[in-house]
Amino acid sequence: MAVIEYDSADTQEWRQHRRSFITFERMVQFAAMHIALILSSLALAFLGNVPWIGFLLGVGGTLALIAWFAVSAPTTGT
């Protein structure tokens, strides 16, 4: 069996990289979900001819997405 040296600087750098990757991944996921929400709201407003429901869905959905991503933030113990 090989003996591998443990370097805390590499481990710390790996943890920081993983944390930034997870943050970027969540930001991209939020952007994709928000774009889908806005497109569906616009479809309801213009194609479905129900602009108030589209507006309420857009505003309410945006607030719900922001709250969900703020509450479900991952712990920093990576």
SS (H, E, C) 31-45: HHHHHHHHHHHHHHH
Query: Looking at the domain assignment, is residue 58 inside a domain?
Result: yes
Query: Looking at the domain assignment, is residue 4 inside a domain?
Result: no
Per-residue pLDDT band at 72 (split at 50, 70, 90)? confident
Inform me whether the pLDDT recorded for 70 exceeds 70.
yes
Query: Looking at the domain assignment, is residue 18 inside a domain?
Result: no
Q: State the pTM of this model.
A: 0.75
Burial of 11 (0-12, 13-18, 19+ CB in 10 A): exposed
Average pLDDT along the chain: 87
Of 62, 66, 45, 46, nearest to 54 (Cα)? 45
Query: Looking at the domain assignment, is residue 45 inside a domain?
Result: yes
What is residue 38's predicted lDDT score, i.e. its pLDDT? Answer: 96
Residues 49-62: tens digit of each pLDDT: 999 999 999 999 99
**Element housing 9 (H / E):** helix 8-42
